[in-house]
Amino acid sequence: MEPQKSYTFDRVVRILLSVGILAGLIWLIGYLSDVLIPFTVALLLAYLTNPAGYPGPEKNSQSGGGGFYQLVWHHCHRYFSGLVRDTHDCR
């Protein structure tokens, strides 16, 4: 058996900071869950639609391609613009 490590001030502070950061991350994810769920679904759908975001037959093609980023932008823009419109209608 290994001998037990002593609890020095440095070790206790590092343990408390680690527990605090972990608790903060869990709280932040819970607080942002209403936004993170649609964003994660949009990312998943965008990836399934076009996993590589391939630009097309030509390397520097301006037409087509970039489906991953375009789809994420489209879903996020629709979601957030709907939130802004709803707040302006409540007069």
pLDDT (tens digit per residue) in 38-64: 888 988 888 888 766 555 454 444 545
Host domain of residue 54: 9-88
Q: Is residue 77 part of a domain?
A: yes
Residue 19: burial class (beta carbons within 10 Å; 0-12, 13-18, 19+): exposed
Count how many domains the chain has: 1
Tell me, yes or no, if the pTM score tops 0.85: no
What residues of the chain score a pLDDT lower than 70? 1, 51-72, 74-91
Q: Is residue 84 part of a domain?
A: yes
Q: Is residue 48 part of a domain?
A: yes
Torsion angle, alpha carbons of 70, 73, 74, 77, to 10: -160
Q: Is residue 2 part of a domain?
A: no
Q: Is residue 3 part of a domain?
A: no
Q: Is residue 1 part of a domain?
A: no
Q: Per this entry, what is the length of the chain?
A: 91
